[in-house]
Structure 1
């Protein structure tokens, strides 16, 4: 508990601040320092002297040969405790664990030759001043007797707890005077009042506890467990991009950074942009402002506290790095203990991230069949790590979700409550009509471009051949390319503009363009690079003859002599590229060198 404590200066005993926890009879020195009730000067053999033990067993309520506690009035038959009569000093179970009476507790108290009488333990600060001035020792506390409404000081050896069934104590008994009968009635009412107050307080504490997520240890990076290793690359093995520190947001989301396209994070000692590099989100932990909140039906979730643009890095998914064997053991142990929440995410073939015991705020992101975020595997300093990126523009105070798919282990066939229109009904099952929706969007985009009278997208602007193409994201630019023609192995990630918009010499924004190939030039390098064609007075670069430009665009990297070479036999050396990890709408198929040369 994180509550403040009151500590004894003479022993290790400590209590929470408040009448409900502090042992009655403790002397309060300061708001947080006390002398507990165990340090009374009237002690014998280390225990309070002269306890008045009851004449019946606390278990069966019958008399006989009883075993008496040396610190409180409790008495028992040894047989009721399944034990033999011990030798020497004996303490009851409550006294052995340090249980003591506390303030605002209803008890039975013994004063002189009077019978056991129902009373309430009072805080010394709340009793009349004449009662406060009565002589008493450390460990003594005042009690208020019901019926007679008298106060007196007693100690632990003369009180034992009142229980709810004690209100029927007077039934069937004769010779009970009116004062004692009145005391029983008042004690029963007061007991119910204190019980109701205690239950209300517990209900409020329970509600308050539900406002906080289950405990976990917050970590910033993955922590390997057991034999799992974290790979660290040598600086010579880390790829180097061609960005420059003078670029606008070098290596940023809208840049042409090769590392970003291939989902490699730049290293501060390798990247040419140095400290100006914007592709070090994992290492620098550049996370937007987020907040944990309680969802109506899916437990705890995570929402954005600021507007997020499409493709923005949200945060890294971190936790304990475990191997497959440890993963199986943890899932088996969880199932045996009826644990239903899992935070395991597949990293590589033999490594799994478990964010259950340790992790960051990403562990609170819920599943959705129509998510606004996605997981991406990036290479950071030679090791694979998982990041969460936005799939669309996200307004502030919107819940962040991603699709668990089949990479989230341990959930089995758990019902999905995401509420999306395409919800599959279960975690790990692909959403309904996902492929149809995706293909319809692609076809709609192509139809929209054709309806606006733009150039067809079915051929590569570099080689002129058909196939799977990468589309330019620049507005009003319909150009498309093969991956091979761009010298890429996988589709670029995020917003991508084709090379027609950058100078072929320095990659600065181009102002002069060849009408027949991707060659383009900035104002500094356009001198002597372009000439008007004789056919339609369109500018063409030195790779084309102005008198006889080809009807289809030719590859910018081939010379005129290469274009005139004889083609090889079709069907040779054809190789299909694997689909990349980037945008699913962007694919590439390697065309044949012979077909390029034939053009």
Structure 2
């Protein structure tokens, strides 16, 4: 369902459409962002809460201009801004939606629990009340009254809010009843949502995610596909009288140089066995559901070392389009990529369009590899076996990940020499020697979060010689940073100026104006901030660093506003400067 006034779009249904939107047809609407800014001739402003959303304490607060959220500037680790300011949720376009339990501020009444209702489902006398675009009806628990309200007077109800509020004084019977009804309705909606998600997951597990099947590479935009003249195609030295001309066991020069023979040029003509790409002589394969690694591809026939398995096909895009697609993927929290570098300025993206090769999983001990062949004057990518493979075996290759968007993803291939992360070489004596050389002369990153000390999907600092990596949640980020990014270790924790003194155990750092007395020496002589007791031997463990506070809303227990789920069954990957990932 698309807005006719701006580029916003939503899935149809109460769980996605922003409350306060005006539905015109099944697919067209005016979204809630286009409401009037005035009420009774006066500018409308939100009613902000009197406590910090992070620490739940009062004091001098930084108030959002679009919703009731309030924060201490020190809790956000930022200076008090001048002029209008919006919280991260409002900047990200997060809106209330129908069938959501919220806290509502109406007149001089206290914050009251209510449910946002679809205007079509409220009584007709409520529908006829005066309201504007962006207004939506709410149903007050306890009193069973309705009222039209806007985003500036509601914020989300979270689990355990009832327990927190019931500890307060001056709670009358009506409000106590409202709290009980809100808690029951919240659990009911939660159960419905979990049931829908379970059904969707079960339905998706029956078949692979949708994509458009294509047989050959499709150029996009200004990308050119090269076609050679027959005079430019090399001629091999095979003879037409050979039993298997240009075969894997022959001495065909074209095969050795990874050139595919042309039937009008090769001496063997149609008997040539080096035309696997053109004739699409693919192995018999099947898309399967793997244990813990999403979908995969297995062979239904025995293969011997060096056999051609399949061609990797998809949309052929240029470097500019590749970066745009990666940026859009990050903005939409997409973590799966299917990109392989074809040439210096061309990339194959098998995400929207491709063949079964897109389902091949990564492995640190693969049984296949990618090879670039020249076919009729243009470069194409094929997958070839590295060893003899029995029928019924899953086919894998090493993605050779080059991290895009500063992300490092955990590897779940299960190989004995698994490196633990995509893009990190497998562990062996030769690799350990190479890693030692890399440590002596090449910039490498740590495999654990500098805040919490745990592994998983990490974002990495781009500053020269900085090895630090972090979880998105530990940085209070909703999506990976795009482009060059430097971690908070290099900015003063007080004023954000360039830091001159750094804590060795957490991202806290200080500039020359604030470093006096901020750091002390640990037992092994390393600088540490006040969060780490130098007399405690455990403080030398980087994992002991305290993670930053996380978002809460009217709850006695901290509840993060953003949850970043580590995808255990999926991996993102890429070869050289392109990307390719598995669902």
TM-score (norm 2): 0.48
TM-score (norm 1): 0.47
Of the two, which has the highest radius of gyration?
1
